[in-house]
Chain A
Amino acid sequence: MSTPTPKPVTSGATIPLDVGHAPTAGAPIRQSNLWKDAWYRYRRNRAALFAGAVFIGMVAFCLIYPVISPHDPYDVNFADARQGPSLEHPLGTDTFGRDVLTRTALGGRISIGIGFAATFIILVIGVTYGSISGFIGGHLDNGMMRFLDALYGLPYLPFAIITLAIIGDAGFWAMAVALSIATWFTTARIVRGQIITLKENDYVRAAKTLGARWQRVLMRHLIPNTLGILIIAVFLELPGVILGEAFLSFIGLGIGPPDASWGSMAQEGYEVYRVFPLLIIVPSVAIATLILCANFIADGLRDALDPRTRET
């Protein structure tokens, strides 16, 4: 009632009285601003920043340490078995006399590696399924979502076990596939939700009515906004997958000797936990730390990338 008839706003000149919100609210931010903006916001969350640093630190450690370590992780030496932490072996030795620190790093490569591999597969399946469902919409979408509801009924671990059995061996990619098969549903849902929201975004609709080709719409609007969601999804799925791998290896279905994953190390540690608990504590703490970091990172990313709280 009190705002004047809109005239094209030339920056600076006359600004109407009730300046409550910036102009063009709701328009997606130009790409360069999006990432810089998000990074700035992420940095402000100290917990997320710390978690990110720790996470990167752990990954780097697992990649580098086995190369520079003075100990051979496969070197069996019963004389040195089950020693506590010392200068030579910062985390002690295991039942076979192998240096725990080095084996942890090595195990980390496998556990984290499988984690990322499985997450990657989850993303591929989830994005495909979700995009098709969301983009096409209508009955197909309905049907696909109902189907997804049905799939939710598949129990995670049992199906992972069955899948492993089908594939036969329990190598790296076998585990990755087994761990992703029964858990990609949430990602598919998220992606579909995002696609639908973006499809119905007024700005996108306006662009389409102005005649923008759908490829352009896809590139400039849908993809940048979805990428954010995907990155978050990675860190949301990672903990579950890593735990899954740990569980499978723990019950003996996963990675076997002489290779190590944190899960199999935990299993070895379990056998002697009554007398030497360190061996089960180390890999478990490693797993827990990684999971905690992933959680904090996911939270931080979500706050940083959430369009609702973005200031224009």
Chain B
Amino acid sequence: MAETILTVRDLSTHFFTREGVVHAVDGVSFEVEKGKTLGIVGESGCGKTVTALSIMGLIPKPPAKIVEGEILFRGRDIANLSERELEDVRGEQIAMIFQDPMTSLNPTLTIETQIVETIRRHSELSKEAARKRALELLEEVHIPNAAKRLEDYPHRLSGGMRQRVMIAIAISCEPELLIADEPTTALDVTVQAQVLDLLDELRETHGTAMILITHDMGVVAEASDDVVVMYAGQVVEQAAVTEIFDNPEHPYTEALLGALPQLEGEGVRQRRLTAIPGRPPDLVDPPQTCRFAPRCKYAGGDSCTSRMPELREIRPGHFVRSEHPASERARTGEAIHA
């Protein structure tokens, strides 16, 4: 039975800088179910990483602040926990891995230290027991010659291996939720596939729920169960992965899919890769109108430029924030505006 493990409701995280208030995340809501993977996709700067960091409480507190919203983990609101309480949640209940494995490990500590300290922080294991567990973890993430690797320093390992170590650290305390922020972006293509497979395998074995953040629709297609599309700090579309790919509604999602290289299908040789003109809006005091309108092919008329479209359920389980979702366009035969 679908059990919701994380509920994010109306989350808004703003950065208070000298140049103004940056609305990095504005009214974002979604849920993650136990054992399932939620993919959050969008281009750089859309707020997906800040969302993840807000969940973990890792946003830099002086300029940034969660101004609104709730983050319910297992029913408990963790958005306003003290730092000490958050330290108990992190690593043990919610774990996170980051984009760049080259810089995410401390270069002056051995692999063993970095795994063992996590284990011993959240459990009563002795040093030897923790070391044994570390060894098991490395083997579980398919690192060859694990015993030797434990004594190594990060600079001796390749990028792919370091990412595996990061994953090992993340699952070491059996968290219920794992957040992976662009885990494959900095890796070679072949290694990417391996890491995704590994994450999938672990999810099956441990029943961990996952949030997978990426800008790559291909990764989304492969690894997620549900998808949230973000743009300029907001959720613009949300549905199960098959729904999103079969019936994309938001013009932005369509464009994202159009930018995917295709290997089969008719007219594939003649098809040009489409790109979206323009750039995302400046998030300092953003307008309260549709933020995608300046780049949207279908934008026009009052509705797009006078108010902020609501996130509405256009089909069961499929939400979209647009005045011109695909299914409505098809029905009214809307023409493309300039």
Contact = CB atoms under 8 A, between A and B. Distances in A.
A and B pair up: yes
**Chain A interface helix/strand/loop/mixed:** loop
Contacts, number: 40
Contact of A16 (B189, B218, B219, B275): B275
A272 B246 CA distance: 92
A18 B43 contact: yes
B129 interface: no
A311 to B, nearest CB: 14
B279 interface: yes
B262 to A, nearest CB: 12
A18 B256 CA distance: 10
Given A17-B255, A17-B256, A19-B279, A1 B273 contact: no
Contacts of B279: 15, 19
Interface in A1-41: 1-2, 4-5, 13-20
B67 interface: no
A16 B274 CA distance: 8
Contact of A14 (B43, B217, B275): B275
Given A2-B216, A20-B44, A13 B277 contact: yes
A2 B44 contact: no
Interface size, B (range) = 10 to 19
B259 A1 contact: no
B230 to A, nearest CB: 14
A2 B275 CA distance: 10
B273 A4 contact: yes
Interface string B256-271: 1001110000000000
A239 to B, nearest CB: 32
A19 B273 CA distance: 16
A17 B43 contact: yes
Contact of A4 (B216, B218, B275, B277): B275
A2 B278 contact: no
A251 to B, nearest CB: 43
B276 interface: yes
> Which of B217, B218, B259 has the most A CB atoms < 10 Å from its CB?
B259
B278 A15 contact: yes
B48 interface: no
B164 interface: no
B259 A2 contact: yes
A13 B273 CA distance: 14
B216 A17 contact: no
A15 B43 CA distance: 13
B274 to A, nearest CB: 8
Contacts of B259: 2, 4, 16-17
Nearest to B258: A17
A2 B217 contact: yes
A15 B260 contact: no
> Which of B189, B255, B261, B273 has the most A CB atoms < 10 Å from its CB?
B273
A5 B43 contact: no
Given A1-B218, A2-B259, A17 B189 contact: no
B275 A15 contact: yes
Contact of A18 (B44, B261, B278): B44
A4 B273 CA distance: 6
A156 to B, nearest CB: 32
B255 to A, nearest CB: 7
B203 interface: no
Nearest to A2: B216
B215 interface: yes
Interface in B279-315: 279
B196 to A, nearest CB: 12
Interface string A249-282: 0000000000000000000000000000000000
> Which of A14, A16, A17 has the most B CB atoms < 10 Å from its CB?
A17
Contacts of A15: 275-279
A13 B218 CA distance: 26
Contacts of A1: 189, 216, 218-219
Contacts of B261: 4
A5 B273 contact: yes
A20 B256 CA distance: 15
Contacts of B255: 17
A5 B274 CA distance: 11
Contacts of A16: 259, 275
A55 to B, nearest CB: 27
Given A17-B255, A19-B44, A2 B215 contact: yes
A13 B261 CA distance: 20
Q: Which 3 A-B pairs have the closest CB atoms?
A: A4-B273, A20-B44, A14-B275
Interface of B: 43-44, 189, 215-219, 255-256, 259-261, 273, 275-279
6 contacts: A1-B189, A1-B216, A4-B259, A13-B277, A18-B43, A20-B43
Given A5-B273, A17-B259, 4 more contacts: A1-B216, A4-B259, A17-B256, A19-B279
